[in-house]
Structure 1
Amino acid sequence: MTLQIIPEISSLRARLAGENSIALVPTMGNLHAGHIHLVELARQRAGCVVTSIFVNPLQFGANEDLDNYPRTLAEDCAKLQAAGADIVFTPSVQEMYPTAQTMRITPPPIANELCGAARPGHFDGVATVVMKLFNIVQPHIAVFGKKDFQQLFIIRELVRQFNLPIDIIAGETQREHNGLALSSRNGYLNEGQKLEAQRLYRTLKLIVDNVQQGNRDYPAIEAQSSQYLTQLGWIVDYISIRSSTTLLPASLDDHNLVVLAAARQGNTRLIDNIEFSV
């Protein structure tokens, strides 16, 4: 089947009118193997797979890389065709926001922590565009990656609190052979930075090992790990051990945990996480 490229909301709704099993994979394009893994998960679970490609201005801050964000539609479509996607929805900003988007989704306070602390308003923009995509596509299933664990948590809350009839599927983080999590932003790294970038995942693995061996002084572990990366030239936004169920700071009563990190190599901000149990 040939991949259909549909940029208009009305045309997409008309195309989907007869479908009774729809999966949505929202992306901002510049697709890599991590995105394709999500498309393949969607393909296993639905009769019609829609991938959206939209670089959403609402989730970018004033000094972030909206204008420079890679736009690689031809290459993306070739990958989606090979992965078995049926439709790629490619709206313009004018199509998605024909007037100023003055009504927005306000996520819970957890959205202002972790990545939200460094990127104020980011998750308002994410939740708003995802709600619009859900309303446009009306999928039965939507697939998101675990690499952005906080985003996944907020989207699950969005679906739960608004009683949306959508099953959220979480795709495992896809990694390079050295452990570096696949990301569109990895393309900004020079050769030396990319070699150093694998240290972020290694640091998280050391934290997991430390906790599982009995160290429960979470603030000390976080501080030591941040200091370690800082001494090696990283700019650390946060390293945080949290409950994977609530995303609140981990307590001694929590047994299902996630350690999350965001740090910069040069101007490139990398995020990663590992879920684990104690």
Structure 2
Amino acid sequence: MMSKAHIPTYDICSLSMGVQVTEDLLVARFPDYLEAHQHIHFPHRHSFYHLALFTAGEGTHTIDFETFPVKPGQFYFMVPGQVHSWFFSGKINGYVMNVSAGFFNAFLQDPAYVERFPFFSGVSAEGVVQLPKAAIPVATELLEAMLQEMKHPQGYSQDMLRLLVLELFIQVTRNTGQAPSGQEPPHNYVLLRNFRKLVDQHYMQLRLPKDYAALLYVTPNYLNAFCRHMLGKSAGEIIRDRVLLEAKRLLINADMSIATIAWQLNFADNSYFTKFFKKYAGVTPEEFRKNIS
């Protein structure tokens, strides 16, 4: 594990593996990717969307301090900024995809289109998808088609790759029952996405549901009831969880004092931050740091 260093953040070019049709997309088979980047099992972040499909092997994959057992048919979807690490036992097989946030911008009218997919919510558990057995060949065939397109580019290769990536996202959503069923009004998904985006942008300054309700033009009571309906949590819990997650991310850096982290997260003082962290994480910041060092 990391101790005396910041969590490294990799951009898509730093993990390049040779000739690419576009600097915004990398697709590789897992053994090749691990061989080229043997250091990346330590906790790190990406500035891009990072996907991993496992077809063979075992181990663990930790995303934002939540650990999942690796199983064949498991597809991991990570958004920019999430902290993750993996530890494998035995031979691992599958695919890795790195795709920039701007890859689709020249192709789609809606720049936020990709955020509609449920596995790109930024919540660790929602980004871990178990593919049904029949859906695994569908996903692998699309990934192999991307590899061939990148190896032998033709006219409109970038657009073909965009189509293949989008088809992969749609097929995974359909084959795992995550596609909207029609029972939930479409505007509910838009409101949820907008609320989560606002929390991610303003959690350091805005801590009360009423602040976000005003930005969303709804009442605080409506926002709380809506969040409980959609996620089983109140709006306040969602805001609190985001603050707690960032605190954990910062605590990995042993060079930052607890007081500095408290100040950066906009807590009134170190004591208040410590009480907050222990109440919701179950341990003090110092104990959490010791456990991950």
Q: Would the TM-score normalized by the shorter structure come out above 0.5?
A: no
